């Protein structure tokens, strides 16, 4: 992937207004496969192409997908499964992985990035995170050895649970227990000019505190928003505030110029009784408003001139995902390729700098329980 990572094209039509919008250049979509009724990869390719999508993320290196997407205009962001990381710390194992999982398909199949694991640190399990950076170094070394490092970036998507504080954004900092690993990770990303990816779901924050968090603030609807008391930046949506909290957290560890991208965000269209806000209406509003923001090429208040790259979660509802009902209902599409709800995507038959504000100076002014390292 290149510096502004996502070159994903959407043909947008907001049907209720009859308006044709130009293509979006900073939005991708996640193509999960945890279902027993999903269309085959060649059908998925047709759907993505009809939507003018040329960027998608998958959660493995499924050879069927890599083969089916050959000679297409769609670039893949592939994933190394979490359980594989301990073995890939070994440089020879990493080289074997690259030679068997990537090299046979590239460049016929466009592979722009490798995600080394997914959400290695969560509140429930952090047993694998110690293997993260060593495995990333080995995979990058294997790409260098095979001459592919010029074309394929190496990073990892992180859960927001890596943050100790996220509100206000200027108080953003990493949990003490992962700060050491984050320093290693940020050093790697800085040296390879790769982005820090975050999976950010304002839905979760709203579900946990629906009486305290205004629904319009999390849905990108017009609202009064909030002003960070230390930076005086105004935030009219939670997603941008979450991203800026990550930027401040990185700055506290000495890294103020690493790009931040959103590797997952979305809203469920259905949930259990206690999953407040998981409705078709809210899902449609969140994703439609997000598309509109991406159309404008917006940055966050802290980095207004740096377009925020986002991967929407997800392409399909996936019926085999464990957990609450919401986990199986994030898709824009049903497995039969009908829309789960309308966000204004028009299927057609043919496809076709950081803000000058000093982040370091702002971090020192925020009152926070975080430790500056």
Residues 75, 165, 264, 318: which is the catalytic one? 264
Asked whether the beta carbons of 259 and 183 are under 8 A apart, the reply is no
Has 264 been annotated as catalytic? yes
103-116: average pLDDT: 98
- Whether residue 163 is predicted with pLDDT greater than 90 in this model: the reply is yes
65-76: average pLDDT: 96
Q: CA angle, corner 314, sides to 312 and 319, nearest 5?
A: 165
Residues 119, 165, 259, 275: which is the catalytic one? 119
Identify the CATH assignment for 27-333 out of 3.55.40.20, 3.40.50.2300, 3.20.20.80, 3.40.50.300. 3.20.20.80
Closest to 182 (Cα-Cα) out of 238, 129, 105, 242: 129
CA-CA distance, 142 to 156, in Å (whole number)? Answer: 17
214-234: average pLDDT: 98
Closest to 10 (Cα-Cα) out of 339, 335, 312: 312
Q: Where residue 353 falls among pLDDT bands split at 50, 70, 90?
A: very low
Has 145 been annotated as catalytic? no
Pairing state between β 234-235 and 27-30: unpaired
**Tens-place pLDDT, residues 286-323:** 999 998 998 888 999 999 999 999 999 999 999 999 99
- Provide the token pair at 34: 């945890």
Least confident among 13-17, 52-56, 121-125, 355-359:
13-17
Q: Where residue 170 falls among pLDDT bands split at 50, 70, 90?
A: very high
């Amino acid at each position: 992937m290149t510096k502004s990572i996502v070159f994903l094209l959407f043909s947008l039509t907001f049907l209720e207004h009859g308006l044709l919008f130009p293509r979006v250049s900073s939005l991708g979509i996640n193509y999960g496969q945890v279902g027993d009724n999903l269309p085959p990869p060649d059908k998925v390719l047709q759907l993505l192409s009809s939507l003018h999508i040329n960027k998608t993320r998958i959660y493995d290196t499924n050879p069927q997908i890599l083969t089916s997407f050959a000679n297409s205009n769609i670039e893949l962001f592939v994933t190394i499964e979490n359980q594989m990381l301990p073995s890939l710390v070994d440089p020879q194992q990493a080289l074997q992985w690259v030679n068997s999982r990537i090299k046979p398909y590239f460049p016929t199949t466009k592979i722009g990035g490798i995600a080394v694991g997914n959400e290695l640190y969560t509140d429930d399990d952090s047993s694998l995170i110690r293997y993260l950076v060593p495995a990333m170094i080995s995979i990058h070394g294997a790409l260098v050895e095979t001459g592919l490092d010029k074309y394929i970036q190496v990073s990892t998507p992180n859960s927001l649970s890596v943050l100790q504080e996220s509100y206000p954004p200027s108080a953003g900092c990493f949990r003490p227990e992962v700060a050491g690993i984050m320093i290693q990770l940020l050093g790697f990303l800085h040296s390879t000019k790769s982005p820090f990816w975050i999976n950010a779901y304002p839905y979760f924050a709203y579900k946990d505190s629906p009486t305290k968090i205004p629904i319009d603030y999390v849905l990108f609807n017009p609202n009064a928003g909030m002003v960070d008391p230390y930076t005086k930046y105004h935030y009219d949506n939670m997603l941008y505030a979450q991203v800026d909290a990550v930027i401040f957290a990185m700055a506290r560890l000495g890294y103020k110029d690493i790009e931040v991208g959103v590797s997952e965000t979305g809203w469920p269209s259905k949930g259990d009784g206690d999953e407040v806000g998981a409705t078709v209406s809210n899902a449609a509003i969140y994703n439609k408003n997000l598309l509109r923001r991406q159309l404008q090429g917006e940055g966050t208040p802290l980095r207004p001139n740096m377009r925020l790259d986002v991967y929407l979660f997800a392409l399909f509802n996936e019926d085999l995902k464990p957990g609450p009902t919401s986990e199986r209902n994030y898709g824009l599409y049903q497995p039969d390729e009908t829309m789960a709800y309308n966000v204004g995507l028009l299927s057609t038959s043919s496809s076709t700098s950081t803000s000058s504000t000093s982040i370091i100076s702002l971090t020192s002014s925020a009152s926070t329980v975080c430790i500056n390292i």
